[in-house]
Amino acid sequence: MSAVIITQNISKVYNPDKIPVHALNDVNLEITKGEFTAIVGPSGSGKTTLLNIIGGLDRPSSGHVEVGGFDIDALSDSALIDFRKNHIGFVFQSYNLIPVLTAWENVEFVLLLQQKPKHERDTRVRELLHAVGLEDQMYKRPSELSGGQQQRVAVARALAPKPDYILADEPTANLDSASTEKLLDIMARLNREEQVTFVFSTHDQRVIDRARRVITLVDGKVSKDEYRDA
């Protein structure tokens, strides 16, 4: 299969005019459609920076990023926002739910931004909350949900616009073992059934054990790239 995410000689330097911090150094990767990939490495190795650059949340200092055939590092800020909205779902360690909205409204939010008709929004939100096992919690706000439930809402929200890619930055860091296993089961099933490409940044061995590809970063460079049997 052809690659859908390509990074070519990606480097990222913070504070270049003061004391430079080299977060990434000449990273080259190709990820194909439907991968379930974990990016691992010690703290400060560049995992989150790489994920943010792939997702267009940050721009490289040098190099080239292609996602789904688009040169995202060449897009304007407004075009990049539209690209993320339509093609990429994000799952963060801190959930990033809107506290005043219910689970239903949090999942629906991006569909409102896309101006989807009400019947389409209702069908998609309902099927996703069912998929993540929260159909009985859909009218509760984040403060009324457990951490595991909040993260499952975040996954449903990320999947709502039917993105091609899910980028998950330490999504299990605040979860207990039972919640982690349930969340990973959901992600693995959606990966198989909808062929969504999942890329994780993680320290969590439970996530690493589920991944079919593990990319190890050390000091901003790829030190190992291991494929596993599905």
> Residue 33 burial by CB count (10 A; 0-12/13-18/19+): exposed, middle or buried?
middle
Residue type, 211: A
Span 144-190, pLDDT tens digits:
999 989 989 998 999 898 898 999 999 888 888 888 888 899 889 88
Domains with residue ranges and CATH for the chain: 3-95+162-227 (3.40.50.300)
Structural tokens at position 17:
């005019």
pTM of the full predicted structure?
A: 0.89
* Neighbour order of strands in the sheet with 21-32: 21-32, 3-14, 62-67, 70-71
Q: What is the pLDDT of residues 15-59, one digit of tens each?
A: 877 888 899 999 999 999 999 999 999 988 999 999 999 999 999
As a whole number, the mean pLDDT across the chain is 92
pLDDT band at 133 (very low <50, low <70, confident <90, very high): confident
Spatial contact of 161 and 114, defined as CB atoms under 8 Å apart:
yes
CA distances 86 to 31, 68, 114, 153, 193, Å, are 19, 12, 8, 19, 20
